[in-house]
Structures are given as C-alpha cells and as structure tokens.
Amino acid sequence: MDLTAVLILAYFALLFITLLWSSKVIQGPWLFFLRAFFPNWKFFHAVGHVPHLYVRGQAAGEWTGWYQVYPRLPRRWHHLFHNPVVNLALSHQNLVDHFASDLNALPDGADASQLPTYRLVTRLAHQAIQGDRWGDTPMIAAPLPRVERFQFELRMELPASSRSELMLQSPVLAVWD
C-alpha cells in the first residue's frame, strides 16, 4: 500500500473517530488545519443572525460610508458546470462565517487580532477597499476613491431586517501595496 492511500485511510479514520466522540462541538488546535475539509453547514440551522462584513476607507481625511462586502452574484446556467467566480465569492463569505464563529469562541478580553481568521478577513477587507472583483462583479457596490486607511466591521444581521448588531470593529488600518 502506498503512502497516499495510508494517509487517506488515516484521514477517514480520524473523521470516524471524531464522529463517535460524544461532544457536539469538536475543538482543538489540531482540527483547525482540517477545517478546509469541513464546509460550514450552519444554513441547516434555524434562521438567525448572519455575519456580514462592512468596509470603509479614508481618502484626504474624509471617511466614506460603510459598504457591505457580500457575494450576491447573478446566476447563470453555465454555473452548473463551471463557476470559479461564484465559488470564490462563497468561500469569502464562508471565511466571514468562520471568523464570527471564532469570535464567539474567544474568551472575554482575548485579542481577536491574533486569530488567523482575523488576519484573513483583514486581507479580504483590504482587497474590497482596493476595488477587487469577483470576476465581473465588484466586491463592494460603489467604486471608492484611492484611500490611505481603512476599517472593517463584522455585523450580525437578521435576514429581512434593517437592524444589525456590531460584533467587531477593526482599528484604523493603513492600506498596503
């Protein structure tokens, strides 16, 4: 048996063992590295607050308004067969979901900036404020002027409601190249 087959069998054995584990939440630093293999299945739960990422920038001393970074891409029939742009946008939202989950699990008084998901969301916000796109669709609805600094917020929102709850606001961050 070659090494690849052994590693695949070990992976599925680990999955089976964790399924037999009696706790409902599987935690541990060693499972963090396997998170990419586990999609976020929270959409099967009752409808509740959904995390949304907002960004704003500062150009010439003036702050822009807050803009939502949320993947709502138009559906096309060919997406059934090939949709890398939609998959990228959904992976970005999955990152925001994981970040909200990590913030909820963080002990009181702990520094959120040490979380790997915080650093990834910071990069995502930076991409959005710089005018990055998902294919032909911009990450934020309105084009922004060139900004020197930016901030991002994580807000929990109920679908079909205008109310939101601020979960985290980043410090003012400098734009990098």
Structural domain harbouring 22: 1-38
Whether 13 and 56 map to the same domain: the answer is no
Q: pLDDT-derived band of residue 172, with 50, 70 and 90 as boundaries?
A: very high
Judged against a pLDDT cut of 90, whether residue 20 lies above it is answered with: no
Judged against a pLDDT cut of 70, whether residue 27 lies above it is answered with: no
Round to whole Å and give the CA distance between 153 and 1: 50
Whether 17 and 71 map to the same domain: the answer is no
Whether 20 and 48 map to the same domain: the answer is no
Whether 19 and 90 map to the same domain: the answer is no
Residue pointed to by tokens 């920038």: 57
DSSP lists the bridge partners of residue 150 as 57, 173
In one letter, which amino acid is 175?
Answer: V
Whether 20 and 55 map to the same domain: the answer is no
80-103 pLDDT per residue, tens: 888 888 888 888 999 999 999 999
The pLDDT assigned to 87 comes to 84
Confirm whether pTM is higher than 0.85. Answer: no
Whether 55 and 125 have beta carbons less than 8 Å apart is answered as yes
Q: Which of 19-28, 39-48, 75-84 has the lowest mean pLDDT?
A: 39-48
Q: What are the helix (H) ranges across 21-164?
A: 29-32, 84-105, 116-129
Q: Rounded to a whole number, what is the largest CA-CA distance in the chain?
A: 64
Whether 7 and 77 map to the same domain: the answer is no
The pLDDT assigned to 66 comes to 95
Whether 30 and 48 map to the same domain: the answer is no
For the ranges 24-33, 39-48, 133-142, 165-174, the maximum mean pLDDT occurs at 165-174
The pLDDT assigned to 53 comes to 96
In one letter, which amino acid is 152?
Answer: F
Round to whole Å and give the CA distance between 55 and 164: 15
| Torsion sign (Cα): 21, 46, 87, 101 | negative
Whether 75 and 6 map to the same domain: the answer is no
Whether 87 and 144 map to the same domain: the answer is yes
Whether 8 and 59 map to the same domain: the answer is no
Count of structural domains within the chain: 2
Whether 69 and 22 map to the same domain: the answer is no
Whether 22 and 74 map to the same domain: the answer is no
